[in-house]
Amino acid sequence: MSRTTNSSLTNALRILKSFSIDHPELTLSEIAEFVDVSKSTACRLIQTLESEGFIYQNIHFNTYRLGSSVLALSNTVTDQLAILKETTYFLKQLTIQTGESSHIAILENTDVIYLKKEDSQHRVQLLSHIGRRNPAHCTASGQAILAFIKPSTIEKLFENGLEQATKYSEVSLTQLQRILATVRTQGYSISKGEFIEDIVSVGAPIYNKKNQVFASISVAGPKKRMLPNLQKIVDNVLFTSNNITKYVQAHVKDVDIETFIG
């Protein structure tokens, strides 16, 4: 594959990743700016993606959004991750027990991606959704996975530094390694305002048949509700992660963390 072809493919994939729940429709200028290419290059790439059904043009507003081919691929991924089909019950029970929103996440490079979510009954919901990416080092769901990755791999993942999302975010790799060592020992993680200042989250790992961590389950909510019930929430998260692990090890084909971190 030539360098030009490889560059075009990379930029086309970056165009697809520029869309999100918060930005479902984008103009040509916005796409070009996000990918850091000229409008003419962005237009050419969009036309190719549009011809394959990955992008759809809203001619009334002259904007673009993801097409049906993306939906087809997402359904394929969901079908392959059999764990998602069977975790709804576990998440519902966890949310009932804690009164807060619960999530299942995987790691991709330095981010966690939420694959499943069960909303709480509170009127104000968390700004999280299926497919959302958050920095792994300052979220409980991310730390619950990172803790079980080799320290040398952690160093490589974060060789470009740690993002400081709030004043409570850890920016020292050495200190992060200490935090992850504690998580590894106690079997769960707690993030107190590290990603969003008034949000506390609790996470725990999910293991595959080889007893390797490949995903995490977490509960998150406002400090004022989470802190008074923190130990109960930790116990419920651990109980749920253990039950999901038992299910995965009994019924789901092997899944490997390397699949997601590359």
Question: Can you give the three-state secondary structure of 196-244, one letter per residue?
Answer: CCCEEEEEEEEECCCCCEEEEEEEEEEHHHHHHHHHHHHHHHHHHHHHH
CATH superfamily membership of 81-261? GAF domain (3.30.450.40)
For tokens 């109980």, the residue is 239
Return the percentage of the chain with pLDDT > 70, whole number. Answer: 84
Question: pLDDT of 106-124, one tens digit each?
Answer: 998 899 988 888 888 875 4
* DSSP-assigned beta bridge partners for residue 135: 111
Domain boundaries, the chain: 3-71, 81-261
Burial class (CB in 10 A: 0-12, 13-18, 19+), 72: exposed
pTM for the whole structure:
0.72
Question: Quick one: fold of 3-71?
Answer: Arc Repressor Mutant, subunit A (1.10.10)
Question: pLDDT of 51-95, one tens digit each?
Answer: 888 888 888 788 998 887 776 666 555 555 556 667 888 999 999
